[in-house]
Amino acid sequence: MSKSSKTRTLTVDVLARVEGEGSLQIRIRNGQLAGVQFKIFEPPRLFEAFLRGRKFTEAPDLTARICGICPIAYQMSAAHAMEQACGVTVDGPLRALRRLIYCGEWIESHVLHVFLLHAPDFLGYESALHMARDHGPLVQRALALKQVGNALVTVLGGREIHPINVRVGGFYKLPHPDQLRALADRLKWARDQAIEAVRFTAGLPFPDFEQDYEFVALRHPTEYPMNEGRLVSNKGLDISIDQFEDHFVEEQVPYSTALHAVRKARGSYMVGPLARYNLNFDRLSPLAQQVAREAGLGPVCRNPFRSIMVRAVETVYACDEALRLIETYELPDRPFVEVTPRAAVGYGCTEAPRGILYHRYRIDEHGVILDARLVPPTAQNQKTIEADLWQFIPPRLDLPDDKLIWQCEQAIRNYDPCISCATHAVRIELIRE
Amino acid sequence: MPKVAQPKLAVWKFASCDGCQLSLLDCEEELLAVADRVQIAYFPEASRAVVKGPYDLSLVEGSITTPHDAERIHQVRRVSKRLVTIGACATAGGIQALRNFAQLKDFAALVYPSPAYLATLNKSTPIADHVFVDFELRGCPISKHQLLEVITAFLHGRKPNVPPDSVCTECKRAGLVCVMVARGVPCFGPVTHAGCGALCPAYDRGCYGCFGPKETPNTSALARAWAELGVSGPDLVRAFRTFNAYAEPFRRESIAHEQV
pLDDT tens digits for A146-186?
Answer: 999 999 999 999 999 999 999 999 999 999 999 999 999 99
pLDDT value at position B115?
A: 57
* Res A426: pLDDT: 40
Q: How far is B260 from chain A (nearest CA, A)?
A: 16
Domain edges within chain A? 47-380
* Contact call for B31 and A66, based on CB within 8 A: no
Averaged over A57-62, what is the pLDDT? 98
Burial class (CB in 10 A: 0-12, 13-18, 19+), A113: buried
Please tell me the distance in Å from A145's CA to the nearest CA on chain B. 9
Q: What is the ipTM of this complex?
A: 0.94
Choose from B25, B43, B47 for mutation: most chain A CBs within 10 A.
B47
DSSP secondary structure letters along B214-244: -SS--HHHHHHHHHHTT--HHHHHHHHSSTT
Give percent above pLDDT 70 in chain A.
90
Query: Which residues of chain A neighbour B29 with C-beta distances below 8 Å?
Result: 143, 147
Select the residue of B48, B110, B112 nearest A16 (Cβ to Cβ): B48
DSSP conformation letters of B192-216: BBS-S-SHHHHTTS----TT-B-SS
Q: CB A370: neighbour CB atoms within 10 A?
A: 13
**Residue A221 to chain B, least CA–CA distance (Å):** 34
Topology of the domain comprising A47-380: Cytochrome-c3 Hydrogenase; chain B (1.10.645)
pLDDT band at A20 (very low <50, low <70, confident <90, very high): low
Contact (CB<8Å) A14/B44:
yes
Question: Chain A contact for B19, CB < 8 A?
Answer: yes
How far is the alpha carbon of B155 from chain A, nearest alpha carbon, in Å? 20
Check if the beta carbon of residue A386 is closer than 8 Å to that of residue A426: no
Q: How far is A173 from chain B (nearest CA, A)?
A: 5
Taking 80 as the threshold, does the pLDDT of residue A10 lie above it? no
Give dist(CA A30, CA A433) in Å, integer.
Answer: 6
- What percent of chain B lies above the pLDDT cut of 70? 92
**Do A18 and B66 make contact, defined as CB atoms within 8 angstroms?**
no
Query: What SS3 class is residue B36?
Result: helix
- Under the banding of pLDDT at 50, 70 and 90, the label for residue A265 is confident
Q: According to the model, what pLDDT value does residue A258 have?
A: 66
Residue A427 has pLDDT above 50, yes or no: no
From the list B56, B32, B66, B64, the residue with the least C-alpha distance to B46 is B32
Question: B105, exposed or middle or buried, with CB in 10 Å at 0-12, 13-18, 19+?
Answer: exposed
Q: How confident is the model at residue A382 (pLDDT cuts 50, 70, 90)?
A: confident
By Cβ distance, the residue of B22, B48, B110 closest to A126 is B48
How far apart are alpha carbons A71 and A37 in whole angstroms? Answer: 28
Query: In Å, how far are A325, A347, A415, B202 from A98, measured between CA atoms?
Result: 10, 17, 25, 19
Q: A249 forms bridges with which residues in the sheet?
A: A262
B27 pLDDT exceeds 90?
no
Say whether B47 and A14 touch across the interface (CB within 8 A): no
The string of pLDDT tens digits covering residues B45-99 is 888 888 998 999 999 999 999 899 999 999 999 999 999 999 999 999 999 999 8
Beta-bridge partners for B11: B59
Distance from CA of B10 to the nearest CA of A (A): 14
Return the higher-pLDDT residue of A379 and A307.
Answer: A307
Q: Among residues A311, A376, A235, A264, which one has the least CA distance to residue B18? A: A376
> For residue B204, which residues of chain A lie inside 8 Å, CB to CB?
172-173, 335
Q: Which domains does chain B have, with CATH numbers?
A: 8-155 (3.40.50.700), 167-256 (no CATH)
0.90 exceeded by the pTM? yes
Note the pLDDT of residue A41.
66
Q: What is the mean pLDDT of chain A?
A: 90
Exposure of B47 in the CB half-sphere (CA atoms within 13 A)? 23
Interface test with B, best of A15, A18, A45 (most B CBs within 10 A): A45
The 10s digit of each residue's pLDDT in A312-341 is 999 999 999 999 999 999 999 999 999 999
Q: How many angstroms separate the CA atoms of B79 and B215, rounded?
A: 30
Q: Give the model's confidence band at B180: pLDDT under 50 very low, under 70 low, under 90 confident, else very high.
A: very high
Dist. CA B260–CA B258, nearest whole Å: 6
Checking if the pLDDT of A431 tops 90, the result is no
Q: Which residues face B55 on adjacent strands?
A: B80
Question: For A237-251, A257-271, A356-370, B118-132, which range has the lowest pLDDT when averaged over its residues?
Answer: A257-271
Write out chain B residues lying below 8 Å of A70, CB-based: none
Closest CA to A350 of A103, A1, A88, A38: A103
Task: Tell me the C-alpha distance between A304 and A317, whole Å.
Answer: 20
Between B175 and A127, the more confident residue is B175
Q: Who wins on pLDDT, A297 or A430?
A: A297
Mean pLDDT, residues A405-416 taken together: 90
Partners of residue A162 in chain B, C-beta under 8 Å:
19, 140-141, 210
User: Who among B25, B107, B140 is closest to A162 (CB)?
Assistant: B140
pLDDT, average across residues B27-35: 82
Q: Do B199 and A159 touch (CB under 8 A)?
A: yes
pLDDT digits (tens, 9 = 90+) for A104-130: 999 999 999 999 989 999 999 988 888
**Which chain B residues are closer than 8 Å to A45 by Cβ?**
15, 65, 94-96
Closest by Cβ to B47, choosing from A69, A71, A126:
A126
Residues 6+ apart with CB under 8 A from B184: B229
Least CA distance to B124: which residue of chain A? A45
Cβ of B25 and A61 within 8 Å?
no
| pLDDT, tens digit, 9 for 90 and up, residues A338-355 | 999 999 999 999 999 999
- Distance between CA A26 and CA A37 in Å, rounded? 7
The answer to whether A183 and A335 have CB atoms below 8 angstroms apart is no
Could you give the residue ranges of the DSSP H alpha helices within chain B? 19-25, 31-37, 67-78, 88-92, 104-111, 144-155, 167-173, 179-183, 199-202, 219-228, 233-240, 248-256
Answer yes or no: do A335 and B204 touch at CB < 8 A.
Answer: yes
Residue B107: its chain A contacts at CB < 8 A?
46, 49-50
Q: Pick the closest to residue A99 from A373, A324, A368 (CA basis).
A: A324
- Residues A333/A215, Cβ–Cβ less than 8 Å: no
Distance from CA of B66 to the nearest CA of A (A): 7
| Mutation target among B1, B34, B45 for the A interface, most CBs of A within 10 A | B45
